[in-house]
Structure 1
Amino acid sequence: MAAGVSGKTKEVPQMWGRTKKVLLKLCRLNGEGECPASQADKRCGAALLGLLAAITVCYELTDGAALQEVRQEDKPSVEIIWEAPISQPRLLEAVKLQLEPDPYREDVPLERELQAALRATCEENGVPVALALGLIEEESQFQPDVVSHRGAYGLCQLNPKYFPRELTPAENIAAGVGYLGELLERHGDTASALRAYNLGYDDGDRKFADAVLAAAEKWEKD
């Protein structure tokens, strides 16, 4: 039940009696209004009694509603505790998104979920996001359902001989970027790794690598 003020109680009329006695004593007035003090005291006493009379009339007209007693025990005991809801990962993620800039890029022709998957797998495999975007653009033009004449499929044009066809677009990205990360570590050279990704080994031809790097530079600038 919400806390509020209590109803009309018997203590309210008693309060007026006590207040009147206090005012009379303070103003040094007797019961007939006679005052042995100065004219200033008389005026003060008259003013205070007038104020008391006005309050009494207000109480009677409003049936005490304007002067309902607020009891301390009627107030709720409110204790505010800030505690990170560590058991609520979705809530923490929502708060994080509010505090951090949205990494979603409207210029990248991938859905928000796929962009998130791309960023996550790039971070995991040490592959620059711009390089991964350049690879996807050159391989599939960001078309998740495209299949090449050799059977390579998906955003990263995976070879079905080594990767199952049932992969979702997000899984296709994870597999392709993961493979590129392995090649970068193995070859130690970006152009060589890109050629090996496209052909299966590095034959020295840099046409594909140059195209991917040019696209990556564009995404880096954007």
Structure 2
Amino acid sequence: MRQAKLETIVWLNRLGSFRAVAEKLNTSQAVISQRVASLELELGVKLFERNTRGLKLTPKGAALLPYAERIVDISAEMLMQVTDPSAYAGVIRIGAVETLVHVWLHRLLERIYETYSGVAVELTVDTSGVLRDAVLKGKLDIAMLLAPEREPDLTKKAICTYKLAWTASPALGLGTKTLSIDELARLPIITFARHSVPYNRHQSRQHTEIDVNSRRPYRDPIDREENYGNFHKDYL
């Protein structure tokens, strides 16, 4: 029994004419008539009878009507829940590396709250390795991180790229001088956290380093002391 047939019965009872129902459901009177005839044949009963005032439900039609209305209403409610973003509710656990927190994550959270008012976000900020493990263990639903090149157990999608920039303390007096890799290696370098993806990709060079887990203290030690740092350009 198709829902379209039941919907036709509901609207015929409300509007009282084949023409009005055809206009309401954006179809032809012939289709409406065929739906009624098909449902009557399927059930083996007559659902409507004509009188001087138009269409009237038979006793069997009147018995069917409340069930048809419930099915149509439940179907409409189901579609609203599925297609209306404001109908979503629950908690989503999101992880993000700190760079994104300082650059654009706040705008993403604003969009989520505006579009899905019933959704609460639990945010975890940590290094890529920690976030990756949390996703694999089911502790996070989604994570925005620096993904390793090979990770068969995760579904990955690239969402943004950032260029890295070197920033030096004025106390070094470098000016516009271009440094070689060996010269860089002799400087104390503030960089990404140990075992992070960027750190591991560049750890082949030996250098004196200050290893920190947060980007927040980067600027001050570079400005105050003779240090050199490697950061995302958008954070500087």
TM-score tier (shorter):
under 0.3
Greater radius of gyration (CA): 1
Q: What's the TM-score, normalizing by structure 1?
A: 0.26
Q: What's the TM-score, normalizing by structure 2?
A: 0.25
